[in-house]
Amino acid sequence: MKEIILKVLTDIGIYIEYEDIDNVDIRNYITDSIEFVSFIIAIETELGIELPDQVLLYENISSLTGFISLLETFREDLLL
């Protein structure tokens, strides 16, 4: 999942070059609403899912690890 998110970020022109990438606050890189919407649409496209509105909050991308957990929980719920 981490690789997918990093690929999506790179595809929309956002490059993160940290060794300890798990602790990165993605909000430091996605700085406006257009980037945020582009990021969410790209994640949905890459994963082949539509995220519910309650997941689409800017606060949910505060950390890469937290966002991955949120996405994995949502994907698990879809499979049930």
Mean pLDDT value of segment 47-53 = 85
Output the six-digit token pair for 28.
């430091």
Residues in the chain: 80
* Structure confidence at residue 20 (pLDDT): 65
Q: Is the pLDDT of residue 18 over 70?
A: no
Range of the domain at 66: 2-79
Mean pLDDT value of segment 25-31 = 88
Residue keyed to tokens 């970020």: 9
Domain tally for the chain?
1
* Structure confidence at residue 2 (pLDDT): 85
Residue pair 43/8 in contact by the 8 Å Cβ criterion: yes
47: domain CATH number is 1.10.1200
pTM, rounded to two decimals: 0.82
pLDDT band at 64 (very low <50, low <70, confident <90, very high): confident
Q: Is the pLDDT of residue 19 over 90?
A: no
Q: Comparing C-alpha atoms, which of 59, 2, 73 is closest to residue 27?
A: 59
Residue pair 66/27 in contact by the 8 Å Cβ criterion: no
**CA 17/CA 38 separation, integer angstroms:** 20
